[in-house]
Chain A
Amino acid sequence: MSTHVSHATYDRLAINRLGLWLFIFSDALIFAILLITRFALFGTSRPEELNQALGLGLTVILLVSSLTAYRAEAAIATGDRSGLLRNLLLTIIFGTLFLVGVVGWEWREAPHLGIVPQEGYGIAFFSMTGLHAFHVLTGVLLLLIVFFNARRGAYGPDNYWGVEAAVKYWHFVDVVWVFFYPALYLVR
């Protein structure tokens, strides 16, 4: 009987993971289309005026947030609840910093450099950073839900699918930026 329950639990987890990866692959297609459109419309050209320091800073913030997200999952997988909470909080802070950097700083600065959402390179720039920022926002909200659930003691080493799913989604958002950063800021 216990073997049957164990198999059922494993099957559910395997199906959950498969479902999440299918969602991630389908979502990745939208980003891939945006990336292809950017190169189809503008080739490898980009405005020289883009704030390189900000682009690099945002990239570092998001990569560090992926490390803290990984550490959060590793912590709960090994029974360290305080490590989970600490690293989730750090990930949420880094994610919020990234959002502030893109929407609050870059989007305000870009029009002064001639990059506007209605025309030219700005169409690609704002649609790519906009859709990505929306995913960052939903990722932060997911991580907040997981954080408050974790504070109530909802997760343990044998039961942390909620943490795993939110963290995987967060890493996916990071992988998208790994391609968007050079496409928007570095190629020429």
Chain B
Amino acid sequence: MNTLEQLRAKKMRVGWLVGAGLAVTTVVEYYIAVGLARPLVPLAIVALIKAWLIVVYFMHIKQLWTSEEGGH
């Protein structure tokens, strides 16, 4: 396996893990809404976790202060 293929496999693995994280948090979010009488704060926390997953792992916000990844 060459370097590009290894990098692709790593990126795809990260993608699936984050996707799984988003799926789990969405299910948790739904059950919080159904089960709690006042779900505002827990829902806000879950939304922040989901946003953090997307911004950090999908949008690569770290690229703003580092050139570690995506230096095309």
Query: For the complex, what is the distance from the CA of A80 to the CA of B5, rounded to whole Å?
Result: 9
Contact yes or no, A80 B8, CB < 8 A: yes
Asked if A187 is at the interface of the complex by the 8 Å CB criterion, the answer is yes
Contact yes or no, A178 B50, CB < 8 A: yes
Contact yes or no, B61 A175, CB < 8 A: no
Chain A nearest Cβ from B64, distance in angstroms: 6
Interface string of B37-61 (1 = CB under 8 A from A): 0111001101100110011011101
Interface size on B, residues (CB 8 A): 38
Q: Which residue in B8, B32, B39, B63 is a CB contact (below 8 Å) of A74? A: B8
Chain A nearest Cβ from B2, distance in angstroms: 10
Contact yes or no, A172 B59, CB < 8 A: yes
Q: Which residue in B15, B33, B55, B71 is a CB contact (below 8 Å) of A10? A: B71
Chain B nearest Cβ from A124, distance in angstroms: 16
Asked if A179 is at the interface of the complex by the 8 Å CB criterion, the answer is yes
Query: For the complex, what is the distance from the CA of A40 to the CA of B59, rounded to whole Å?
Result: 30
Contact yes or no, B12 A56, CB < 8 A: no
Chain A nearest Cβ from B51, distance in angstroms: 5
Q: Which residue in A160, A168, A172, A182 is a CB contact (below 8 Å) of B33? A: A182
Contact yes or no, B30 A71, CB < 8 A: no
Q: Could you pull out 12 A-B pairs where Cβ atoms are within 8 angstroms?
A: A21-B61, A44-B38, A63-B26, A66-B58, A67-B15, A67-B22, A75-B8, A77-B70, A80-B8, A171-B55, A172-B59, A179-B51
Q: Which 9 A/B pairs are nearest by Cβ-Cβ distance?
A: A186-B33, A74-B11, A78-B8, A182-B43, A67-B19, A178-B50, A70-B58, A78-B4, A171-B59
